């Protein structure tokens, strides 16, 4: 049976928020393809996740050149699914990709030179089977390339019609401010920054969110669930199939044991609010005034459906925020 999306997907359950001062609206929850869509994964479940996400109003899919494993396979696998199942909905989708981390051998296979960034975008478009992406990011700052060169390459992608918007990821506050200004001078707006942000990693509160709010740039935090730590996944040990146990997973088992006592306390607090821990953690990220959308990962449709339920309770009385701060120390 060909995929037929839910006709009620835009009935108001999923809020769409303007990305900074740009006109682009993103869903409050966006879906990332870092894990769970590579050649090592169950692609039937990957396809089901993409269908269910779209049915739930999630119009934003986030890729990078190197997502897999192996690198490139998430774009290749999902490019095929997009072509087979979503082609007539292309104009309803915001598809992002990035260049910056290691992708191919030699001096041009990573970082931020014009050569690397623009070649990587061409490769991504070919794997995704698309003519353009909606957002193209510099995935990380390059200490050995002038910022003007990397930002100039992003601007060229827009001028060539290969990207509609551009963004930066993992840039610290002062470099982010410079990058945004350089793009502005070239006449291309940086609409979005993609940093790590969750209850366990609050680095963006030290200057970055001020820069983004001041310059009208949106913020899409990645790993809002700290790769699954801020869910019920590890409350009873480390389950088979979880990211912490997978050979290619980026979550260390030692991180689970370091954090488990805080996770338990946060989970109890979430239950008192009538939420799961995952829901409270996502609501907490979305509560920050700079945040446009929370960029989640999921390994199943059930996780996706649970996570979207965070939208049912987004408010945070100050005493609950204080309790969270006290648990986090």
Ligand X SMILES: NC(=O)c1ccc[n+]([C@@H]2O[C@H](COP(=O)([O-])OP(=O)(O)OC[C@H]3O[C@@H](n4cnc5c(N)ncnc54)[C@H](OP(=O)(O)O)[C@@H]3O)[C@@H](O)[C@H]2O)c1
3-state SS assignment for residue 138 = strand
Q: Which of 329, 266, 276 is nearest to 306 (CA)?
A: 276
CA 138 to chain centre: 14
CB of 319 to ligand X, least distance (A): 25
CB under 6 A: which stretch of 15-23, 75-83, 117-125, 225-233 binds ligand X? 225-233
267 part of the interface to ligand X, by CB under 6 A:
no
The structure tokens listed for 198 are 């969750």
Q: Which two tokens stand for residue 135?
A: 């957002």
d(CA 323, CA 304): 27
Residue 222 within binding range of ligand X, rule CB under 6 A: yes
228 part of the interface to ligand X, by CB under 6 A: yes
Token pair belonging to 269: 């607090």
List alpha helices for 82-224, DSSP H: 114-128, 147-159, 173-186, 208-215
Q: Please, are residues 90 and 56 in contact by the beta-carbon 8 Å criterion? A: no
- Out of 45, 210, 306, 323, the only residue in the binding site for ligand X (CB under 6 A) is 306
**276 phi and psi, to 5 degrees?**
-80, 165
42-50, 106-114, 151-159, 218-226 -> range binding ligand X (CB under 6 A): 218-226
The answer to the question of residue 32 lying near ligand X (CB under 6 A) is yes
Residue from 66, 73, 116, 170 binding ligand X (CB under 6 A): 170
Q: Is 138 in the site for ligand X (CB under 6 A)?
A: no
**Does the protein bind ligand X through residue 296 (CB under 6 A)?**
yes
CB of 189 to ligand X, least distance (A): 19
Judged by CB under 6 A, how many residues of this single chain contact ligand X? 31
Cβ distance 3 to 11 under 8 Å?
A: no
Residue closer to ligand X (CB basis): 118 or 298: 298
Q: Residue 159 or residue 248: which is nearer to ligand X going by CB? A: 248
Between 54 and 88, CB nearer to ligand X = 54
DSSP state of 79: H
223 contributes a contact to ligand X by CB under 6 A: yes
Name the helix (H) or strand (E) containing 321: helix 318-328
Using rule CB under 6 A, residue 295 touches ligand X:
yes
Q: 26, 155, 224, 292: which one contacts ligand X (CB under 6 A)?
A: 224
- State which residue, 119 or 169, has the beta carbon closest to ligand X: 169
Contact pattern for ligand X over residues 74 through 113, marking x by CB under 6 A: ----------------------------------------
- Contact between 136 and ligand X (CB under 6 A)? no
Q: Which is nearer to ligand X, 153 or 298 (CB)?
A: 298
Least CB distance to ligand X at residue 155 (A): 20
Give the footprint of ligand X on residues 182-211 (CB under 6 A).
Answer: 194
Residues lying near ligand X in the complex (CB under 6 A) are found at 32-36, 62, 139, 169-170, 194, 222-228, 231-233, 242-243, 278, 295-299, 303, 306-307
């Amino acid at each position: 049976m060909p995929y037929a999306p839910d006709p009620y997907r835009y009935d108001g359950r999923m809020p769409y928020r303007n990305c900074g001062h740009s006109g682009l609206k993103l869903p409050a929850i966006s879906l990332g393809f870092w894990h769970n869509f590579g050649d090592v994964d169950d692609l039937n479940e990957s396809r089901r996740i993409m269908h269910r996400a779209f049915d739930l109003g999630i119009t934003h899919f986030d890729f990078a050149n190197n997502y897999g494993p192996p690198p490139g396979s998430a774009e290749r696998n999902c490019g095929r699914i997009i072509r087979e199942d979503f082609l007539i909905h292309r104009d309803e989708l915001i598809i992002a990709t990035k260049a910056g981390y290691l992708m191919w051998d030699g001096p041009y296979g990573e970082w931020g030179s014009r050569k690397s960034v623009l070649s990587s975008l061409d490769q991504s478009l070919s794997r995704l089977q698309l003519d353009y992406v909606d957002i193209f990011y510099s995935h990380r700052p390059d200490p050995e390339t002038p910022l003007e060169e990397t930002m100039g390459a992003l601007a060229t992608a827009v001028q060539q019609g290969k990207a509609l918007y551009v963004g930066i990821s993992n840039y610290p506050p002062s470099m982010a401010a410079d990058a945004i200004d350089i793009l502005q001078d070239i006449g291309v707006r940086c609409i979005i920054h993609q940093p790590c942000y969750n209850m366990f990693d609050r680095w963006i509160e030290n200057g970055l969110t001020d820069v983004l709010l001041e310059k009208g740039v949106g913020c899409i935090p990645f790993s809002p669930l700290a790769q699954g730590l801020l869910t019920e996944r590890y409350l009873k040990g480390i389950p088979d199939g979880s990211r912490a146990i997978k050979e290619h997973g980026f979550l260390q088992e030692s991180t689970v044991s370091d954090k488990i006592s805080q996770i338990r306390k946060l989970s109890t607090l979430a239950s008192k609010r009538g939420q799961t821990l995952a829901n409270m953690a996502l609501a907490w990220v979305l509560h920050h005034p700079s945040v446009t959308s929370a960029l989640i990962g999921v390994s199943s449709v059930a996780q996706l459906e649970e996570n979207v339920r965070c939208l049912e309770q987004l408010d945070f009385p100050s005493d609950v925020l204080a309790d969270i701060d006290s648990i986090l120390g």
